[in-house]
Amino acid sequence: MRILSRYILREHIGPFFFGLAVITFILIVDFILEIADLIIGRGVRASMVLEIFFFNLGWIFALSIPMAVLVATLMAFGRLSGDNEIIAIKSSGISLYQIIAAPLIASLSLALLLILFNNYVLPWTNHRARVLGAQLGRTKPTLGIREGVFINDFPGYSILVRKVSRKGPQIEGITIYEEKDRKIPRTILAQKGNLSFSPEGNSLTLDLYNGEIHEVDQDDPSKYRRLTFKKYTLTLRGKGGGMGRVNREYRGDREIGIGELLRRAKAEEKRIIREKMAINNILKKKGIIPNEQLKEGLLKQDPKTLSLIQGKERLIESARRRKNSYMVEVYKKFSIPFACLVFILIGAPLGVMVHKGGIGVGIGLSLGFFLLYWAFLIGGEELADRNLIPPLWSMWTPNLIIGGSGIYLLIKGVKETKFLSWKDIKLRLRKLVGLPPSGGPSSST
């Protein structure tokens, strides 16, 4: 049995590394094109761009390794089945359960290593990639600007740039619609301009040259003003103002390990409890029993108290969203690595079914299943953030669904039960819509 286990594992090694290379290339192909544009077209130092690329490989490998497991399993079992080796092994009294035992143990070991990678290495690479990206944005502030596309990152401003310098902070053909603190927007036009970040990196300065300002009088709309300038400086703050900020200390939820995620989630839970107690105390002072059905109607008689309670309820909702976001990341660090086991369960019986385990079949089926898996993950994360489903279920449901399907196929394979053929599927569809079976009555065997 040991010889058989080693033989089956050897059949996985080549397809695993080949699948890992192909899938990694698929995931980074867009990134490679962006790198070429940054180095050749925008004059960014190659060393800096390659460093950013290196640190982005962290999340890429976290996804491509489970996919490579599925490719390897499909190809290995497809090859064994195509050469009738599975039939020969079964004829010697060894079941499919025993055949997949060695790949399952190996995938479990790989999953445990991936959990360690996700907890210690991945947060560090994500953090370094963010810091380097912010540094790049600070040295090349025009990188985030697309020619002929409105920029709405700064509250109160819509900015259109006709031409962007590839090697400096210069821009040309600038149109700005300013709505901030104004009833009627004004338009600022300039032939050219320069972008620069403040020393703190929390605001973006736009120096405009040779332009005009068109505005309607706020108090008397019948009056119109047109001003010309040689130089006009505009300071932009807000959502986009942090583009150049390089904060090495702060770490987002994807840049920290499990321990810090749990600590932050616990802090948000305490905040939720504290705000709920504050609401209850406010209601008690008003003589209203908490959770009483008439609470809303009674509070409408006191708009100030109602506004205070609504503000605290918004704080509770925000804290709950942050808590869910942290817990999603905790469960994700476990669920994605354990997809290695899930893909063994689904890949082994599918590989036996397709018989010929060519690279096209392996890559095609793997991408299909992983797209389905990833769609479940993204959808689950969104639902968890909206507090519609618990974070635990949002991250583990894909494993349960695909793993359950794999177990079902595995049981059918062990029992050598016939799977539905295309003819059977067509027959059932015709019955479902009330049509008679084509070709007259059919007999079942």
Question: Phi, psi at residue 145, to the nearest 5°?
Answer: -105, 130
Handedness of CA 232, 237, 240, 244 (dihedral sign): positive
Q: What is the pTM of this model?
A: 0.74
In a domain, 251, yes or no: no
User: Could you read off the pLDDT of 98-107 as tens digits, one per residue?
Assistant: 999 999 999 9
Whole-angstrom distance, CA of residue 250 vs CA of residue 165: 32
User: Could you read off the pLDDT of 388-424 as tens digits, one per residue?
Assistant: 899 999 999 999 999 998 898 888 877 765 554 445 5
Angle of CA points 142, 146, 151, to nearest 5°: 90
User: Could you read off the pLDDT of 48-79 as tens digits, one per residue?
Assistant: 888 888 999 999 999 999 999 998 998 899 88
Whole-angstrom distance, CA of residue 99 vs CA of residue 339: 19
As given in the structure block, the two tokens for residue 250 are 């702060």
Is residue 286 located within the same domain as residue 168? no
In a domain, 144, yes or no: no
Per-residue model confidence (pLDDT) at position 171: 86
In which domain, by residue range, is 214 found? 155-237
DSSP state of 419: P
Determine contact, residues 275/319, Cβ cutoff 8 Å. yes
Regarding predicted confidence, which is higher, 352 or 140?
A: 352
Burial of 384 (0-12, 13-18, 19+ CB in 10 A): buried
Whole-angstrom distance, CA of residue 200 vs CA of residue 192: 25
In terms of phi and psi (left: phi > 0; alpha: psi -120 to 50; beta: otherwise), the region of 194 is beta
Per-residue model confidence (pLDDT) at position 444: 40
pLDDT above 70 covers a percentage of the chain that reads 79
Domain end marker among 290, 306, 331: 331
Is residue 36 located within the same domain as residue 127? yes
Looking at 224-354, list the stretches that DSSP marks H as alpha helix, in order from N- to C-terminal side.
258-285, 295-299, 303-335, 339-354
Is residue 165 located within the same domain as residue 133? no
- Chain center to CA of 113: 22
As given in the structure block, the two tokens for residue 273 are 């409890």
Q: Which residues are CB-neighbours of 94 under 8 A, at least 6 positions away?
A: 1, 4
DSSP state of 421: P
Whole-angstrom distance, CA of residue 119 vs CA of residue 158: 40
The total number of structural domains in the chain stands at 3
User: Could you read off the pLDDT of 292-335 as tens digits, one per residue?
Assistant: 555 555 566 677 777 788 788 888 998 999 999 999 999 999 99
Is residue 276 located within the same domain as residue 374? no
Is residue 361 located within the same domain as residue 313? no
Determine contact, residues 118/337, Cβ cutoff 8 Å. yes
In a domain, 244, yes or no: no
Domain end marker among 237, 271, 306: 237
Helices (H) and strands (E) in the chain, counts: 13, 5
Q: How far is CA 14 from CA 40, 73, 76, 98, 398, in A?
A: 36, 11, 9, 22, 27
User: Could you read off the pLDDT of 107-144 as tens digits, one per residue?
Assistant: 999 999 999 999 999 999 999 988 887 777 666 665 56
Q: Which residues are CB-neighbours of 12 under 8 A, at least 6 positions away?
A: 72, 73, 76, 103, 106
In a domain, 246, yes or no: no
Is residue 12 located within the same domain as residue 101? yes
In a domain, 284, yes or no: yes
User: Could you read off the pLDDT of 185-237 as tens digits, one per residue?
Assistant: 889 999 999 887 665 555 778 889 999 998 887 777 777 888 999 999 888 77
Per-residue model confidence (pLDDT) at position 331: 96
Whole-angstrom distance, CA of residue 71 vs CA of residue 67: 6
What per-residue string of b and e applies to 311-326 under the rule 16 or more CB within 10 Å gives b?
ebeebbeebbebbbbb
Is residue 223 located within the same domain as residue 271? no
Is residue 55 located within the same domain as residue 19? yes
In a domain, 50, yes or no: yes
Whole-angstrom distance, CA of residue 201 vs CA of residue 155: 17
Q: Which of 104, 79, 67, 76 is nearest to 13 (CA)?
A: 76
* Residue 211, beta-bridge partner list: 190, 229
Whole-angstrom distance, CA of residue 336 vs CA of residue 181: 47
Is residue 322 located within the same domain as residue 347? no
Is residue 326 located within the same domain as residue 342? no
In a domain, 169, yes or no: yes
- Chain center to CA of 135: 23
As given in the structure block, the two tokens for residue 41 are 């077209």
Q: Which of 188, 164, 326, 204 is nearest to 255 (CA)?
A: 326
Is residue 195 located within the same domain as residue 117? no
In a domain, 250, yes or no: no
User: Which contiguous run of DSSP H or E holds residue 408?
Assistant: helix 391-414
Determine contact, residues 352/365, Cβ cutoff 8 Å. no
pLDDT beyond 60 at 243: no
Handedness of CA 429, 431, 433, 438 (dihedral sign): positive
Diameter of the chain measured on Cα atoms: 96
Domain end marker among 205, 237, 269: 237
Q: Which residues are CB-neighbours of 399 under 8 A, at least 6 positions away?
A: 335, 338, 339, 342
As given in the structure block, the two tokens for residue 245 are 């900020």
Is residue 351 located within the same domain as residue 416? yes
